[in-house]
Structure 1
Amino acid sequence: MKNHGYARRCPAIFCPLQRRRQMFKDKRPGKWILLGSLLVIIMLGLLIFFGMQAQAAKNQPFLPIKEVKTKAGISVWLAEDHSLPIVALRFVFLDAGSANDPDDRQGLARMLSNTMDEGAGKLDSQSFQKALSDNSITLSFNASRDGFGGELKTLKRNEAKAFDLLAMAINEPRFDAEPLARMRDGNLSRIKSSLSEPDWMAARVVNDKAFEGHPYSKNSGGTISSLGRITADDLRNFKKNNLSRDRLLIAVSGDIDQATLESAIDKIFAKLPEKSAGSAIKDTSITNGGKIYLFEQDIPQTFIEVMLPAFDHKDKDYYALELMNYIYGGAGFGSRLMETAREQRGLTYGIYSGTQDYRHTDALNVSTSTKTASTQEMLTIIKDEMVKMQNTPVDAKELQDAKSYITGSMPLALSSTDKIAAMILQLRVDSLPIDYLDHFADYINAVTPEDILRVSKRILKPELATTVLVGKPENIQNVITVKELPNVQ
């Protein structure tokens, strides 16, 4: 190896290798004592420094969020971050979703979300979409049972154009005949193709039975007949009656200052009606508990949906519920349901549970599929694992693993500017405090095995389960046959 002379040009104080050699050559005790003392001082300094850094980090918010009030009185939660030249905005109008669709216009909120970015102001559909594409702007709208929302993501340099386009879409949507027909045809095609999907069929039946008599039982994607009835005037009226400032929640993250944000928000939303003319949605609970419904299909598997009543984050046991669900079936691989049904007995490729937090009810659901002959065995596993959770405390390792995953995965939900905006908006939807994320890990880590046992006894009650089967299973007792899919035609 060639010697490029680095050793000669490297003074001893800056060259670790040369400095170490000199130290070992020097035999004077006094110098060793001095060096030892110096090292101790350096180590103590480093310990103090890193301790101060850790304490400073501990005292910093998990995610710095502040509330901004515009001149029009609109509230926005902002996570200002100038490290990347990106701005993300998320918003939702609560109680403005598909639950508000008229019975003969199911799919209205969905169609509104499909068409509001298909032309606005003086820009037709093609021109509007070209303006988004030319400026690298992402804009979309969405409709759930509980709300109507949207998201905007833009580069800092194009923020003015992005805000202009969003303001046009919110205040001056065109609802031209061509995009309206195109979106209607797309939704009809989606429904018709879904008619061959057993999991979609199971979802339709379980929604109809678990939410019987409530607007949640409607088909948010529309029916074949209702989509054909929806007109541009229907879209305008739904927007006028439901998209109002009293229902509006907004979250923003990224490279934007407060003054620019205030001006943009008022430009986009201040012209909307102050109060909603839409009807209020009543609370409900899961119905038809203890019943098993079968929609027969000549297929080699049975698709299974189970729904149970649950509760939301306002309940003192909410964090125990989240951990209980993770252990029972929410974890996927590693959960009790997956371990028993797949790993031990080989009955399925996957089985999962999850909590569903709607605005007007709350539920825990289980979803899976299995070969026809093992349908009853699978139902027994789902029930038996519930009973075990009720009667036997989880062990310390199982609980700690669940806690570690849930708290450890939190930063992954904040890995991009738009994900941060989505997280902030969810805090607002759930009416959580602005510093909630600072305490989330403490809430999770405070849960005990006794808490899990108590919640299991509250929630995992097989006698309250609304169960739906799609397939052709045999020897299932007390089955109620469903003759046709609800809210499809």
Structure 2
Amino acid sequence: MKQPQIFHARTSLTAALLLFTGLLLFSQMSVAAVKIESWMTPQGAKVMYVYSPQLPMLDIEVSFDAGSTRDGQDWGLAAFTAGLIGTATSTQNENQIADSFNRIGAQFGGSAERDRASFSLRTLTRQDVMQQAFQQYLMVLSEAQFKPEIIERERERLLLGIKQKSVNPQAMANDLLWANLYPNHPYGHPTSGDEKTVMGLTAKKIEQFYRQYYSANNAVISIVGDVDKARASELAEQLASHLPQGEKPKAVSAPQALSQAKKIQQTFASSQTYYSLAQLGIERGNKDYVPLFVGNHLFGGSGFGSYLMEEVREKRGLVYSVYSYFAPMKQPGPFIIGLSTKNASAKEAEQVVQETLQNFMQDFSEERLQAIKDNLIGGWPLRMDSNSKIIGYISMIGFYGLPLDYLDAFPEQIAKVSKQDVLQAWQRQIQPDKMLTVMVGQPQ
């Protein structure tokens, strides 16, 4: 993924405030219910808002449907564009922008992934500071300029990162997985592009992408902090009114699942083999998500509490770590099992993973399931113990159109999940005989 470009402010005011109040407010924030409100601006932007007065801080994140799925044939265009936001405006250069945020202790960041591009602001809510930070943020988003010298500098940096993949077996395995799991689909190409496509990214293409996708009716504006709803509404409308109107892009087509098992093996001169077993999973909002999520924690997503860790590491000592996860997106994202192991152990590790998956889908311990559920429910408040975590959640909820009570309902749904629910969901969604295997190394 494109690395965020972030200007950090290490001011004594912000640091002291967070250190002094963090521990005091931790328990209050952990147990407090998160009340999410949502509305549309006149310009068509969706607003997600949570009032959080515990700290005099404001977090804003604007997400656009402008991820790498919108690259077309210009792979890397979305990531390149997002990386250039914050390097120049109509009146400021890169250093002036950075100094403007740093001087008032504000933080700006941006990144692009497959589904979306997102840009964040964190600032104190003291009126003079917040106003300066917000105006700077507004200018960076709505008046971005793409200077030729910066484009060339960033192109060289991207090309260097792409070249480094050729000596990174884990990165190679990741690209092979996406390319073969999503052939002829926008999810399939690297978000950073390849050498040929990055060389073809021009200032004109970047400008056109920015004008087309960074528009009000293609935006989700998320606001969390010590500002009331009226002030949040004002901020959202100012943001939306400074963005072009644009047109909401068409939905990305659904990918096709593999019709049969497929194996990709790439020889790489290393002592380790990187192994993945994957298939299409589910989209955000799928009714099977909760039983799949709970089951995955038991199967491979909870570290030493998982069956994968028990079978592959603890019983046989084949790996240091092994994991599995679902990555739901606008269209079905992948379900991935991954590990790295000595070349001499690769084939054995592969066999154990496949057997563990098949066994799990037939039966597992109800007592261990209950322990996983208790752990997830007990730890749920910690997932929302800071404004930065809350804004991440509400931005996701807004972008993917999930219910506003998602955060409250999720632990309740976990509590209701039965062993039968998990087995049925996994048997519906997972097809062990039609999965993609990727191995990079010298497996034996």
TM-score normalized by the length of structure 1: 0.80
> Which residue does 1:420 correspond to in 2?
390
> Which residue does 2:338 correspond to in 1?
367
> Which residue does 2:117 correspond to in 1?
148
For 1:423 and 1:434, locate their aligned partners in 2 and report how far apart those are by CA, in whole Å: 11
Amino acid at match of 1:205: L
In structure 2, the CA distance between the partners of 1:320 and 1:280, relative to structure 1 (3 Å rule), is closer
> Which residue does 1:125 correspond to in 2?
94
Give the SS at the match of 2:361. Answer: helix
Segment of structure 1 superposing worse, 291-300 or 306-315:
306-315
**In the alignment, is residue 285 of structure 1 matched against residue 256 of structure 2?**
yes
**In the alignment, is residue 464 of structure 1 matched against residue 434 of structure 2?**
yes
**In the alignment, is residue 439 of structure 1 matched against residue 439 of structure 2?**
no
**In the alignment, is residue 454 of structure 1 matched against residue 424 of structure 2?**
yes
Give the SS at the match of 2:323. Answer: strand
For 2:156 and 2:203, locate their aligned partners in 1 and report how far apart those are by CA, in whole Å: 15
Cα deviation, residue 234, structure 1: 1.4
Q: 1:144-196 CA distances to partner (integer Å, 9 max, x unpaired)?
A: 11111111111112211121112111221111123222222221222222221
For 1:313 and 1:225, locate their aligned partners in 2 and report how far apart those are by CA, in whole Å: 33
For 2:401 and 2:394, locate their aligned partners in 1 and report how far apart those are by CA, in whole Å: 11
Give the SS at the match of 1:78. Answer: strand
Amino acid at match of 2:391: A
> Which residue does 1:408 correspond to in 2?
378
For 1:460 and 1:379, locate their aligned partners in 2 and report how far apart those are by CA, in whole Å: 17
For 1:356 and 1:289, locate their aligned partners in 2 and report how far apart those are by CA, in whole Å: 21
**In the alignment, is residue 257 of structure 1 matched against residue 228 of structure 2?**
yes
Segment of structure 1 superposing worse, 130-139 or 70-79:
70-79
Q: 1:422-447 CA distances to partner (integer Å, 9 max, x unpaired)?
A: 11111222322212222211101111
Equivalent position to 2:49, from 78, 81, 92: 78
Identity of aligned residues (%): 27
Q: Who wins on radius of gyration, i.e. which is larger? A: 1
1:224-373 correspondence runs (5 A): 224-276=195-247, 278=249, 280-287=251-258, 289-373=260-344
In structure 2, the CA distance between the partners of 1:385 and 1:254, relative to structure 1 (3 Å rule), is same
For 1:213 and 1:277, locate their aligned partners in 2 and report how far apart those are by CA, in whole Å: 23
Cα deviation, residue 278, structure 1: 4.6
Q: Is the 8 A contact 1:307 1:364 kept in 2?
A: yes
Q: 1:385-408 CA distances to partner (integer Å, 9 max, x unpaired)?
A: 11111222x323211121122222
Amino acid at match of 2:387: T
Aligned-CA RMSD value: 2.0
Q: 1:29-65 CA distances to partner (integer Å, 9 max, x unpaired)?
A: xxxxxxxxxxxxxxxxxxxxxxxxxxxx9xx972122
Equivalent position to 1:222, from 193, 202, 207: 193
Q: Is the 8 A contact 1:289 1:308 kept in 2?
A: no
Amino acid at match of 1:77: M
In structure 2, the CA distance between the partners of 1:436 and 1:278, relative to structure 1 (3 Å rule), is closer
For 2:85 and 2:70, locate their aligned partners in 1 and report how far apart those are by CA, in whole Å: 18
Cα deviation, residue 301, structure 1: 1.6
Q: Is the 8 A contact 2:283 2:330 kept in 1?
A: no
For 1:407 and 1:247, locate their aligned partners in 2 and report how far apart those are by CA, in whole Å: 34
Cα deviation, residue 347, structure 1: 0.3
Amino acid at match of 1:430: Y
Give the length in aligned residue pairs: 413
Amino acid at match of 1:64: K
In structure 2, the CA distance between the partners of 1:134 and 1:418, relative to structure 1 (3 Å rule), is same
For 2:383 and 2:354, locate their aligned partners in 1 and report how far apart those are by CA, in whole Å: 32
Q: Which runs of 5+ in 2 are unaligned?
A: 1-27
> Which residue does 2:36 correspond to in 1?
65
Give the SS at the match of 1:391. Answer: coil
For 1:241 and 1:289, locate their aligned partners in 2 and report how far apart those are by CA, in whole Å: 39
Q: Is the 8 A contact 2:278 2:435 kept in 1?
A: yes
Give the SS at the match of 1:346. Answer: coil
Segment of structure 1 superposing worse, 232-241 or 259-268:
259-268
Give the SS at the match of 2:319. Answer: coil
In structure 2, the CA distance between the partners of 1:277 and 1:439, relative to structure 1 (3 Å rule), is closer
Amino acid at match of 2:439: L
> Which residue does 2:81 correspond to in 1?
112
Q: Is the 8 A contact 1:61 1:438 kept in 2?
A: no
Give the SS at the match of 2:256. Answer: coil
